Structure 1
């Protein structure tokens, strides 16, 4: 039998600690016996691991439940409140912020409207106000935040610079990650909003059972993302899923079929226009139904191209228009059936408008795991 060297023993302790943290994050409070069973360690070894993690601040003992009789077994949990994460959805019409603990449990959310033509500096100031409001709602300060993860429109470089953004032209060329780091004294990561929405759908939504997915991010603008082999696909240049750039797909103009329908009353706000058309279509209005048909015609072109290329298990209709999936999915299925070799399962998102900000929180959790909870990184003392 091989003899473990000192470095091997240190690595073994590290692996045991990570195994314990993973079990506690996935299952909530556990007794030592339950934790030992889940990790495959002996109870004495598990006791040593838990004691060390408590000293480092990553694990805490939970108080016994009210009404407990006798001396209950001690239970332990991951100390998710030792730090906090902020997720951002920086869209053309709204900025959303969410505050979460280190497990990704969302504690507070806020939203502030903006316009596509809002100048860059005003949009950045609105981001700062939205985050401040969210932190205040959650009773925290920016000093409590470890990571800010932002999702936004456009082709985003791996470094967090906006390479191109058609929906917000002034956004093109902006070093968004750099500007956010000037604003927030913590780690900052930036990703395309549709990819974050797809991540959220895969982790919390309707495609947790699927490994190959086309995610349609549809609302007042159109986007898409791909999940391949269970992973959100970025592509070589972080531009995967940008089917809207194909002129033949007509995705830039497709929402106008719903937003400019002739039945919409003149005093309807732009934010409510498409919803009015979709509601009228649901009620059987022939003009609204014709507008929906034209919209789905355009939506189906790009979707069919992605389905034929990827052969996904599922197509997900996500974003703001997913609330009208009952109106949009039947004609979309019919068009995909006509043009695709195999019709995938076509589903509606369960996350709606919150898909991007939720995905940003999940992205922050993944970044935290990569930073701290990997075998090659010694566990630091919790902040």
Structure 2
């Protein structure tokens, strides 16, 4: 009897998971519709759905009065059962996004930080950004099911950026260890360019592609790779770090814009590229030459990745993607000169949120791996 009871319990959990899968990301459905999607009997589906409502996984959708007579009761997945955090630890800011289990962003919060800030100051800014984001949403820490932190530099198996990072002292920092004092959920750490690639495939301009080279173009240049629909990290987390090869000239490429002849000395370093782009649009020859040199250097590394991986799409992301109208066509021209086949080049539309959005997707994938592999957690609390 014990064995039979265990088999029944396992079957019930399997059916519950099947119904949750059928409901996530879908509009509200009736029991009959859910039975059709899962292949379960209607009576069996009804029993399981009622149990999921009791446990807090599913909510009843009340009729809106638009139908005549007594409408069939409809149900939806309770996306508010838990939440995830995506954190972008950048040189100039900390950005935190809070999302429900459907990936809907419900709150965001940004805290500025100086590029030269030491680890203690930057970690304090991370704590502040997370606290203020959760407080504004009225969210308790124990309602967070996963956290992903995006950082600059290749991330190794320990969650640190020991190979390279432009953030002062950051190679010695473990974001996961730091946040584990506040969160009991899984805490993941990932490279920002890789998260940018994930975001583009999830909510950006590459949703139709499985083979993507994401190029971050800004005050620094980096890349993230998705092949066969899977983010590639490499053995030591350094996949895509082609800019480390000096012959590629990614490290020095931004200096073409920083040192554009004719730039007034009062232009702040953070605004120099924007000044050059404005001058290009105004027809300034020196600015056009500086941009042309930058694109040529950008294309060397992009071409190496294109030749090695033959992607469907190259996504131009990062801060300078806002001036993609000045970069995409010259970049395509350079790639045509260097590559056997030039993939379509698309400019990101996600702006400054791309890294944090990718972090959310990775956090949601972590939740899914637990939910659909290890089995559903115990019934939720009444406050879910």
Please state which band the TM-score falls in when normalised by the shorter chain.
over 0.9
Q: Structure 1: 5+ residue runs without aligned partners?
A: none
Structure 2 SS opposite 1:85: strand
Change (3 A) 1:279 1:12: farther
* Larger deviation, residues 339-348 vs 177-186: 177-186
Tell me the distance in 1 between the aligned counterparts of 2:380 and 2:275: 50
Tell me the distance in 2 between the aligned counterparts of 1:159 and 1:23: 36
Structure 2 SS opposite 1:65: coil
Tell me the distance in 2 between the aligned counterparts of 1:112 and 1:261: 31
Q: Deviations over 1:16-56 (max 9, x none)?
A: 22221122112131111222222222221211221121222
Matched with 1:277 is 276
Q: Deviations over 1:146-186 (max 9, x none)?
A: 22211101121233122233311411132221112124454
Structure 1 SS opposite 2:180: helix
Tell me the distance in 2 between the aligned counterparts of 1:266 and 1:110: 33
Q: Deviations over 1:179-221 (max 9, x none)?
A: 1212445431111111111111111111111111111012222
Matched with 1:84 is 83
Alignment of 1:13-24 (within 5 A): 13-24=12-23
* Larger deviation, residues 165-174 vs 223-232: 165-174
Tell me the distance in 2 between the aligned counterparts of 1:141 and 1:379: 18
Tell me the distance in 2 between the aligned counterparts of 1:260 and 1:58: 57
Tell me the distance in 1 between the aligned counterparts of 2:359 and 2:206: 17
Q: Deviations over 1:37-80 (max 9, x none)?
A: 22222221211221121222111112222555432221111111
Structure 2 SS opposite 1:280: helix
Structure 1 SS opposite 2:25: helix
Alignment of 1:367-382 (within 5 A): 367-374=366-373, 376-382=374-380
Matched with 1:27 is 26
Alignment of 1:1-383 (within 5 A): 8-65=7-64, 68-374=67-373, 376-383=374-381
Change (3 A) 1:163 1:60: same
Moved runs in structure 1, 4+ residues, more than 6 A? none
TM-score by length of 1: 0.93
* Larger deviation, residues 249-258 vs 207-216: 249-258
Tell me the distance in 2 between the aligned counterparts of 1:24 and 1:279: 48
TM-score by length of 2: 0.93
Q: CA RMSD in A?
A: 1.9
Question: Are 2:117 and 2:168, in contact at CA under 8 Å, matched by a contact in 1?
Answer: no
Question: Are 1:164 and 1:171, in contact at CA under 8 Å, matched by a contact in 2?
Answer: no
Tell me the distance in 2 between the aligned counterparts of 1:78 and 1:254: 48
Q: Deviations over 1:265-323 (max 9, x none)?
A: 43333332212212322332222111111111111111111111001111110121111
Change (3 A) 1:342 1:8: farther
The alignment of Structure 1 onto Structure 2 pairs a total of residues equal to 379
